[in-house]
Amino acid sequence: MTARLIDGNKISAELRKNIQEKVAHRVALGLRPPGLAVVLVGADPASAVYVSKKVKACAEVGFISHKIVLNGAISQAELIEQVEKLNHDSSIDGILVQLPLPDHLDVSQVLETIRADKDVDCFHPYNIGRLAQRIPQLRPCTPYGIMLMLQSIEQPVKGKHCVIVGASNIVGRPMALELLLEGATVTVCHKFTEDLAEHVARADILIVGVGIPHLVKGDWIKPGAIVIDVGINRLQNGKLTGDVEFDVACTRASWITPVPGGVGPMTVATLMQNTLLATEELHHEKE
């Protein structure tokens, strides 16, 4: 068996094109384009790259982006004040504070300060709570992007055994909620899980997001499984690789995401989709 690739670049391009067309239609009707504020605290190189990708995506779909770069030594009170200004700015539909933040800042307090209807990254307890209660509004970007990838290959989720490796607030936990919403049976594995290989081997759909290169061995994969690799790790030789042993996994899986070019582009595209939704559905800016 040779796995078929799930092309995140292609799927995300189609989604961005759809968003671009909707924004162009809004503007033609005399409505304002969506506005997204991206807050970068400090000078972390990886964070700067991610922010630049989001600003570029905004330009592509016709959003107005506001890039706000703050000194890494900023106080908690000053950062909260900056977020509150964005909360009260009617031209801003989405607020994104790029993580990680410097160690002296309280991440939870900052994220909870973002107005829930502008929380386009979907880290606010209100939005996660809506997903848990099966009434989602804004959706966590990476998990929702993965759900769109599964839809694109027309593979059913209902009734399938989905195994998630990694229980982070960004991927693992909301991913479990998205899969439950679609009727899957979900197992979440984490650093305290015993017999990881045994759990992985039972997965019809495997989603791995830990940040450890090749943590999941290819020969653990159930024949015919769908493998979604969220990890992106840079090796000493400069090459990017995922959390799954790709070459071997390809000989067992039916579908697999590449790294790079898999989940990453979907995360940015769903961020754009959330921002448009906030504009049209939550801020009464629909035609």
**Distance between terminal CA atoms of the chain?**
50
Phi (first) and psi of residue 37, to 5 degrees: -100, 125
pLDDT score at 7: 98
pLDDT digits (tens, 9 = 90+) for 170-194: 999 999 999 999 999 999 999 999 9
Q: Could you give the residue ranges of the DSSP H alpha helices within the chain?
A: 8-28, 45-61, 76-87, 107-113, 125-132, 141-152, 172-181, 196-200, 246-249, 263-277
Statement: residue 111 has pLDDT above 90:
yes
285 falls in which pLDDT band (50, 70, 90)? low
In angstroms, how far is CA 147 from the centroid of its own chain?
A: 11
Statement: residue 139 has pLDDT above 70:
yes
Pick the catalytic residue: 117, 119, 121, 243?
121
287 falls in which pLDDT band (50, 70, 90)? very low
98 part of the active site: yes
Pick the catalytic residue: 82, 98, 118, 204?
98
Contact 274, 245 (CB under 8 A): no
DSSP 153: T
Residue range 239-247: average pLDDT? 96
Cα gap 166→256, rounded to integer Å? 18
- The reported pTM is 0.95
Contact 54, 39 (CB under 8 A): no
pLDDT digits (tens, 9 = 90+) for 150-177: 999 999 999 999 999 999 999 999 999 9
Q: Do strands 161-165 and 205-208 pair parallel, antiparallel, or not at all (unpaired)?
A: parallel
How wide is the angle at C-alpha 130 spanned by C-alphas 87 and 85, nearest 5°?
Answer: 5
User: Which tokens go with 56?
Assistant: 């570029």
121 part of the active site: yes
Percent above pLDDT 70 for the chain: 99
Closest to 143 measured CA to CA, from 263, 24, 224: 263
Cα gap 258→252, rounded to integer Å? 15
How wide is the angle at C-alpha 278 spanned by C-alphas 274 and 284, nearest 5°?
Answer: 155
Q: Do strands 240-241 and 233-234 pair parallel, antiparallel, or not at all (unpaired)?
A: antiparallel
231 falls in which pLDDT band (50, 70, 90)? very high
Statement: residue 1 has pLDDT above 80:
no
Higher model confidence: residue 261 or residue 287?
261
Higher model confidence: residue 65 or residue 238?
65
pLDDT digits (tens, 9 = 90+) for 42-82: 999 989 999 999 999 999 999 999 999 999 999 999 999 99
273 part of the active site: no
CA distances from 70 to 43, 182, 271 (A): 9, 40, 22
Residue 231's region, left for phi above 0, alpha for psi from -120 to 50, else beta, is beta
Give the position of tokens 């706000």.
68
Tell me which amino acid residue 238 is. Answer: G
Mean pLDDT of the chain, nearest integer:
96
SS3 for 93?
A: coil
